[in-house]
């Protein structure tokens, strides 16, 4: 004859109750842990497996097993499944090591046209060549198992993560030279703040080129936003290219003024044209110091020949190290200019693009911003 089911005494600490309460309300924990936490809390309030199961929508035996595990192993331990023995692994540790070693090679090194492995290709290769390498357990290897085994070793042979090889042995020295120029800018600014007249007639310009600015035209008119209907401008997907332009620009780090030229290309002759612009802008006795990168136009014979025609000390060039363009303040200006003036720009011709770029430069110079460099500046003191 069946007997009455006796209530089980379930003791929990205040800390366990608080943890279970938080888990029962969680939206990120696994559903099984949330459900079991609710069972234990429900049983604490009402010691009836049937009542708790009816309220939570689960079978009463599920509630009973959860409570019995909590009594035997603890309330928090009852939230997780107990480990099961499972099936003996078929793939041997030696086969796993062979597969991982294979994944660390490139696919082309094994006769495939692919540069890198895909998990499907890796599984196929292991099935075909694993047995002859002494691993017959790989004869039925599938793509899912490959993904699992590689995931355990945190190997992703189908991906490439880029890094930057240091190719300039004098990087630190060249960076220090650039920082010394920025330090000089700081000193000149403080001197100008104390006295209206500068003791040393010098200007410092951060210069670079922004090539490949596309002159793109629309093939159909843009449609304006309509309140409550279309929140943004509508633009046809098709477009027409009219070519590209290069923006040659330099920021006077003492005044914030931007000097700029827009040309079809940025060769030595265009760079010399920019230098002539600076030469005509500043008084003859002013020393013009430029911070710029190692572009071939900046160090060409044509450029050096023109610089030799100028008075000694008129131009002084300080070059950023290779892969050190981030040391040049003009890069920040180009980024902001691209995100404001050039963003989504559409023009009917290259001439219109040039006019709008120069209009953007004029707008910047209407309210010039004095750029300041601070990173590692104390090291240049």
Same structural domain, 179 and 270: yes
Cα–Cα distance measured from residue 294 to residue 245, given in angstroms and rounded to the nearest whole number: 21
Q: Rg of the Cα trace of the chain?
A: 35
137 and 41 together in one domain? no
Better pLDDT: 253 or 168: 253
Which of residues 24, 45, 79 is at a domain's end? Answer: 79
pLDDT at 362: 96
Does this model's pTM top 0.75? My answer is no
pLDDT, mean of residues 66-85: 87
Q: What is the mean pLDDT of residues 300-313?
A: 94
Q: Give domain status of residue 157, yes or no.
A: no
Q: Please tell me whether residues 292 and 339 are part of one structural domain.
A: yes
Give the least confident one: 7-11, 86-90, 102-106, 246-250. Answer: 86-90
Q: pLDDT value at position 164? A: 81
CATH number of residue 272's parent domain: 3.30.420.10
Q: What's residue 219's pLDDT?
A: 92
Report pLDDT for 2: 46
Residues 194 and 139 in one domain: no
The CA-based angle 56-58-62, given to 5 degrees, is 120
**Residue 56 sits in the same domain as residue 116:** no
Question: pLDDT tens, 18-65?
Answer: 999 999 999 999 999 999 999 999 998 888 899 999 999 999 999 999
For 224-236, the pLDDT digits (tens) are 999 988 899 999 9
Instruction: Write out pLDDT tens, residues 280-299.
Output: 999 998 999 999 999 999 99
Residues 6+ apart with CB under 8 A from 23: 29, 33, 34, 37, 79
Q: Do 286 and 349 have their domain in common?
A: yes
Is residue 251 one of the residues assigned to a domain? yes
The answer to whether residue 2 is domain-embedded is no
pLDDT tens readout for residues 321-345: 988 888 999 999 999 999 999 999 9
Domain coverage including residue 137: 93-152
Q: Is residue 158 part of a domain?
A: no
Same-domain check for residues 145 and 190: no
| Residue-wise pLDDT tens digits, 90-122 | 899 999 999 999 999 999 999 999 999 999 999
Q: pLDDT class for 197, splitting at 50, 70, 90?
A: low
* CA nearest to 158, candidates 146, 168, 169, 170: 146
pLDDT given for residue 381 in this prediction: 53
Residue 98 inside a domain? The answer is: yes
What is the average pLDDT value for the chain, to the nearest integer? 90
Residue 301 and residue 182 share a domain: yes
Same domain, 212 and 311: yes
Question: Where a domain ends, among 79, 102, 117?
Answer: 79
Tally of CB atoms within 10 A around 254: 16
Residue 380 has pLDDT above 90, yes or no: no
Q: Is 58 inside any structural domain? A: yes
Is residue 314 situated within a structural domain?
Answer: yes
Q: Tell whether 73 and 99 lie within a shared domain.
A: no
Number of domains in the chain: 3
Do both 254 and 364 map to the same domain?
A: yes
Strands 315-319 and 287-292 turn out to be parallel
Least confident segment among 134-138, 185-189, 199-203, 360-364: 199-203
Q: State whether 136 and 278 are in the same domain.
A: no
Q: Does 162 reside within a domain?
A: no
């Amino acid at each position: 004859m069946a007997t009455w089911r006796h209530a089980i005494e379930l003791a929990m600490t205040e800390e366990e109750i608080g943890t279970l309460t938080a888990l029962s309300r969680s939206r990120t924990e696994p559903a099984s842990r949330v459900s079991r936490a609710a069972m234990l809390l429900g049983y604490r309030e009402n010691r009836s497996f049937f009542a708790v199961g009816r309220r939570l929508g689960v079978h009463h035996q599920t509630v009973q097993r959860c409570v019995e595990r909590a009594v035997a192993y603890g309330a928090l331990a009852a939230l997780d499944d107990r480990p099961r023995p499972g099936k003996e692994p078929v793939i041997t540790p030696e086969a796993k090591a062979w597969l991982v070693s294979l994944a660390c090679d490139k696919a082309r090194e094994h006769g495939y046209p692919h540069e890198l492995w895909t998990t499907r290709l890796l599984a196929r290769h292991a099935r075909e060549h694993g047995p002859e390498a002494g691993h017959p357990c790989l004869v039925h290897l599938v793509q899912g198992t490959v993904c699992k085994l590689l995931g355990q070793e945190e190997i992703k042979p189908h991906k490439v993560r880029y890094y930057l090889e240091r190719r300039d042995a004098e990087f630190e020295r060249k960076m220090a030279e650039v920082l010394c120029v920025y330090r000089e800018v700081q000193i000149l600014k403080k001197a100008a703040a104390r006295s209206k007249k500068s003791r040393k007639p010098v200007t410092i310009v951060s210069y670079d080129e922004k090539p490949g600015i596309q002159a793109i035209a629309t093939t159909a008119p843009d449609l304006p936003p309509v309140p409550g209907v279309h929140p943004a401008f509508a633009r046809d997907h098709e477009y027409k290219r009219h070519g590209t332009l290069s923006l040659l620009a330099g920021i006077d780090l003492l005044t914030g003024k931007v000097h700029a030229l827009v040309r079809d290309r940025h060769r030595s002759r265009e760079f010399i044209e920019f230098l002539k612009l600076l030469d005509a802008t500043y008084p003859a006795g002013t020393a013009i110091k430029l911070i710029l990168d190692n572009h071939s136009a900046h160090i060409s014979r044509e450029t050096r020949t023109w610089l030799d025609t100028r008075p000694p000390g008129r131009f002084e060039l300080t070059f950023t190290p290779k892969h050190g363009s981030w040391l040049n303040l003009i890069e920040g200006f180009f980024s902001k200019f691209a995100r404001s003036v050039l963003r989504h720009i559409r023009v009917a011709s290259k001439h219109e693009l040039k006019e709008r770029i120069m209009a953007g430069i004029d707008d910047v110079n209407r309210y010039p911003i004095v750029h300041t460099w601070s990173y590692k500046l104390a090291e240049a003191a």
